[in-house]
Chains A and B, each alone.
Chain A
């Protein structure tokens, strides 16, 4: 079945530091890939997405590139802010088959940014 693996967390950074959160996936075919963010006490917000190989998703300074050869979708940001502190989830959705329409999530990575 499909699966998503995120880097072990939590991640603690100082403001303006560079962020990388690793994500690798296992899926059949060509899934669409996503990063969601969850702030304390809230639901999930879509941060960015990529629907085919070599696509780069970007939003609010965050970027991730769909790498089919390494089955990866690592999240990066050049300069984090305190307001970026949240839990980040990598996820995929398969285009067809029995998993059609179902989001598969990683376990989440807690990011804490200190001033």
Chain B
């Protein structure tokens, strides 16, 4: 079974621009979570989607948004990019049986550099 895939793998943008990142979960997985990893803050949870609905959101500004499609693929968008948005963005998928929380499987990430 193919793993989680993310595109693009690398991205360079300038301040003020916007960016869209894509994540395709493992086949059959319905929950997709997004994380931001920076040297200063470590790995931080952005949001989670299930059946095209955002069920959980981390402590990030409204410039960070996402969506999920009917095939469970997900996108996240960052508008009005700031230098501090430079990070590795990771998505993870899981089967989502509510109790207990399922193992999450991570994609290879998208490295975003904002100049």
Question: Is B truly associated with A?
Answer: no
